[in-house]
Amino acid sequence: MTEHGAAPDLMLELQGVQGGYGPSRVLHGLDLTVAKGEVAVILGANGAGKTTTLRAICSMIRTEGTIRLDGEDISGWRTQAVARAGVAHVPQGRGTFIDLTVEENLRLGAISRKGDLGPDLDRWYGVFPRLAERKDQAAGSMSGGEQQMLAIARALMARPRLLLLDEPSLGLAPLVTRELFERLGQINREEGLTMLVVEQNASLALQIGHRGYVLETGRIVTSGSAEQLAADADVRKAYLGF
């Protein structure tokens, strides 16, 4: 345990996190951890509070309870400060600047960082060659899969220590989704980057994930290793379809 009370290998720790919108409470005391270097997956039905959980971590909504990043209590910080502390958020529905080119979007991802962006651009163009081929194309004219890869690459340009992904496969064809998850797994292995992924495609997410949580109406109802979740009868029935 560190002086902050968190185990040293935890990148993210939520304890008793509550939060919602105005008077309506969506999260009812979430406990969740993500160890350094791992991919954690949040599964849950529509409306369970998955997006709200990521918003709570980014301080986009008011919360109660404790949120620690790498041992430091970040609850109540401003969203900007959480981002500067190394949390990158790829929101549901992507949010690229559609009138800007691919490369302009990528450069914006590193706006809070000084120095030569060349090596980072080369790195992510290498992982996502389609972005390299289209670097002068307007983001809005790219396919859904390409825009999702752009949104992820833009988040990576900030050199985050924790990447939050909200349903990266939303609206993508199965093959594109598979490729996207292969890239995410590759980035996790090669960079050791810690990720928290909200995903409806439980099968693919648990393949690259190390740990999983099932969220139901603002509460964690099941958690375990990715293998345990993939073998869990209820999870299989509800999220894997067999």
Ligand X SMILES: Nc1ncnc2c1ncn2[C@@H]1O[C@H](COP(=O)(O)OP(=O)(O)OP(=O)(O)O)[C@@H](O)[C@H]1O
Binding site for Mg ion (CB under 5 A): 50-51, 92
* Other CB atoms within 10 A of residue 200 CB: 15
Specify burial of residue 187 (Cβ count, 10 A radius: 0-12, 13-18, 19+): buried
Q: Look at residue 46 and give the partner it binds from ligand X, Mg ion, none, a contact being a CB closer than 5 to 8 Å depending on partner kind.
A: ligand X
> Do the bridges between strand 211-216 and strand 72-73 make them parallel or antiparallel, or are there none, so unpaired?
unpaired
Which one of 32, 33, 34, 50 is in contact with ligand X (CB under 6 A)? 50
The DSSP H or E segment spanning 190 is helix 174-191
* Residues in contact with ligand X, shown as a per-residue x/- string from 56 to 95 under the rule CB under 6 A: ------------------------------------x---
Q: Which is nearer to ligand X, 6 or 57 (CB)?
A: 57
Amino acid at 88: A
Specify burial of residue 157 (Cβ count, 10 A radius: 0-12, 13-18, 19+): buried
Q: Residues 159, 113: contact at Cβ < 8 Å?
A: yes
Q: Which is nearer to Mg ion, 157 or 215 (CB)?
A: 215
Round to whole Å and give the CA distance between 195 and 148: 16
Nearest residue by C-beta to Mg ion?
A: 51
Tell me the closest approach of the beta carbon of residue 53 to ligand X, in angstroms: 7
Round to whole Å and give the CA distance between 58 and 70: 14
If binding means CB under 6 A, how many residues of this protein chain bind ligand X? 11
Round to whole Å and give the CA distance between 43 and 201: 9
Interacting residues with ligand X between 130 and 159 (CB under 6 A) = none
Which one of 5, 21, 80, 98 is in contact with ligand X (CB under 6 A)? 21
Which one of 19, 44, 109, 212 is in contact with ligand X (CB under 6 A)? 44
Does position 48 interact with ligand X (CB under 6 A)? The reply is yes
Q: Which is nearer to Mg ion, 53 or 66 (CB)?
A: 53
Name the site residues for ligand X (rule: CB under 6 A). 21, 26, 44, 46-52, 92
